[in-house]
């Protein structure tokens, strides 16, 4: 898909030079952080938080805010404050003293949500199962994913609200 097909040809004229410099700088920082995460030495054994997809870096704050609102209002996570939640999308290394975010609904919906976010290029898909385990404390993430993919439906039960969350986030990014 070309940038013309995505509607970028009209958008570039509405930005000032400083705004474009900030957007490009943010993209560069996010891309370099992802390169560092992907190619770091395995001996370092570092684990990183989720990252907003480089394609959506201009909407990073909207993605975090809307996802928090939808997950707390739907009863998927506890409302422990937006500040605690937004750190999980920093792309930074996970601190050893990080307090887990409690997932309150059926556990296979959490990996389904994050895979949908990654498939729609809202977040980066690098090491998603490991990040889900570290952030939400859900064990056997890969097995949960395989189980619902191998089922007759190919999606977990009660996945319609998750699809609605992802669709609503995408609508906010337009």
Phi, psi of 167 (to 5 degrees): -60, -40
Domain membership of residue 75 as a residue range: 8-172
Q: Is the dihedral of CA 160, 118, 47, 144 positive or negative?
A: positive
Residues with Cβ within 8 Å of residue 3, at least 6 apart in sequence:
9
Give the model confidence (pLDDT) of 44-63 as tens digits: 567 888 888 878 878 888 99
Mean pLDDT of 7-15: 58
pLDDT at 12: 53
Residue 3 lies in a domain: no
For the record, the structure tokens of 67 come out as: 């996802």
The number of folded domains in the chain is 1
Residue 163 lies in a domain: yes
Residue 2 lies in a domain: no
Looking at residue 45, the DSSP 8-state letter turns out to be -
Q: pTM value?
A: 0.74
């Amino acid at each position: 898909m070309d940038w013309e097909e995505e509607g970028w040809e009209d958008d570039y004229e509405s930005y000032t030079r400083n705004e474009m410099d900030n957007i490009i700088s943010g993209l560069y920082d996010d891309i370099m952080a992802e390169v560092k995460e992907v190619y770091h030495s395995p001996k370092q054994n570092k684990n990183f938080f989720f990252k907003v997809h480089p394609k959506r870096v201009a909407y990073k704050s909207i993605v975090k805010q809307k996802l928090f609102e939808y997950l707390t209002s739907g009863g998927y996570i506890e409302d422990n404050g937006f500040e605690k939640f937004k750190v999980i999308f920093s792309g930074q290394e996970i601190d050893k003293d990080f307090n887990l975010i409690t997932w309150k609904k059926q556990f296979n919906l959490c990996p389904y949500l994050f895979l949908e976010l990654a498939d729609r290029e809202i977040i980066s898909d690098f090491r998603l199962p490991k990040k889900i385990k570290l952030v939400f404390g859900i064990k056997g993430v890969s097995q949960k994913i395989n189980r619902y993919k191998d089922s007759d439906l190919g999606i977990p039960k009660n996945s319609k609200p998750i699809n609605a969350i992802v669709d609503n986030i995408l609508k906010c990014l337009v």
